[in-house]
Copies of this chain bind each other. A is one copy, B any other.
Amino acid sequence: MPETSQDKERIIALMHGADKPGIVARVSGWIYARGGNILHADQHHDNENGIFFQRVEWQPAGDVQEEIKLFRHLAEDELEMQTEISTSAKKPKVAIMVSQFEHCFFDLIMRVRMGELNCEITCVISNHEKLRAMSEMFGLKFYFVPLSKENKPQAEAEQMRIIKENGADLIVMARYMQILSPDFLKNCGAPVINIHHSFLPAFAGAKPYHQAYRRGVKIIGATAHYATADLDEGPIIAQDVTTISHRNTVDDLVRKGRELERTVLANAVRWHLQKRVLAYKNKTVVFD
């Protein structure tokens, strides 16, 4: 990569489609022939399903918008790939939904401030007032949208209005303890990332940490995934676990769970913002 310039705008393309010979050669040859400088290229073949995945990041020689238009033609029309294209010039907008637990919320804010997550938090939406002061202290717009069994459709409509007004390329459920309706997920206009605890074995129902404690599990985990109509079953982006012992109380489990939730959610959001995640058939390819 001799002539790389850090300042020059980069194009990132995520593609997937039916696998066929010569795709890598065609894509890299096309970029190279037009004078582009490929910074990163990663690909994956899902041999079981015959699907090909590619992430390619490059600096074009000429006009970025023109390059994108022509590349989309190549990838979608000629190679018949589903394609998602973004550029380094545009900082993604993120809406945060949160209830009362603050650990993931605060963690995200800090990582944005430290430059670890390259995005702009455009709004914070909560069904509680608890995190208003903290949000405003950090200069974030905070929206309280009360929620009850009765008003859920109206509340979700209001949430969507707020999201559209402020803009969001990604919605992060930072321990938002409500189920988003299939309607919301379909119409909110952005992918939604959720975080939840995970156990070996799994536990259904309430108070999972108490159940895990009673069952004497030796490992607890957290999973970040895209929210789908089937709430905790969307494509998994990131997971991590930690060990526990009989010496740990339920409070220890909850604290260790918080730690996992923070780092696992942050990893999932960072990979998504860097356009490293490709979801298909309820699973993901993460070009980490």
A residues near B (Cβ < 8 Å) are 1-2, 4, 19-22, 24-25, 28-29, 31-32, 37-41, 43-48, 50, 102-103, 106-107, 110, 113-114, 116, 137, 198-202, 213-219, 221, 223, 232-233, 235-236, 238-241, 243, 245-247, 249-250, 255, 258-259, 263, 281-286, 288
Other 17 A-B pairs with CB < 8 A, given A1-B45, A22-B28: A1-B50, A2-B50, A21-B32, A21-B38, A24-B28, A25-B29, A47-B249, A106-B110, A198-B201, A201-B233, A216-B236, A218-B239, A218-B286, A219-B240, A219-B241, A246-B285, A246-B286
Distance between Cα atoms of A45 and B2 in the complex (Å): 11
User: Of B28, B39, B202, B214, which is within 8 A of A201 by CB?
Assistant: B202
Looking at the assembled complex, report how far the CB atom of A104 sits from the nearest CB atom of chain B, in whole angstroms. 11
User: Of B29, B200, B283, which is within 8 A of A214 by CB?
Assistant: B283
Residues of B with C-beta under 8 A to A110: 102-103, 106-107, 110
User: Of B116, B198, B200, B236, which is within 8 A of A239 by CB?
Assistant: B200
Q: How many copies does the complex hold?
A: 4
Residues of B with C-beta under 8 A to A241: 200, 219, 221, 241
Look across to chain B and name the residue whose beta carbon is closest to the beta carbon of A217: B236
Look across to chain B and name the residue whose beta carbon is closest to the beta carbon of A53: B246
Distance between Cα atoms of A46 and B216 in the complex (Å): 11
Complex contact B247–A44 (CB within 8 A): yes
Look across to chain B and name the residue whose beta carbon is closest to the beta carbon of A116: B255
Look across to chain B and name the residue whose beta carbon is closest to the beta carbon of A35: B21
Complex contact B50–A45 (CB within 8 A): no
Rank and list the top 6 A-B pairs by shortest CB-CB distance, nearest first: A216-B283, A25-B28, A25-B29, A218-B239, A198-B200, A246-B285
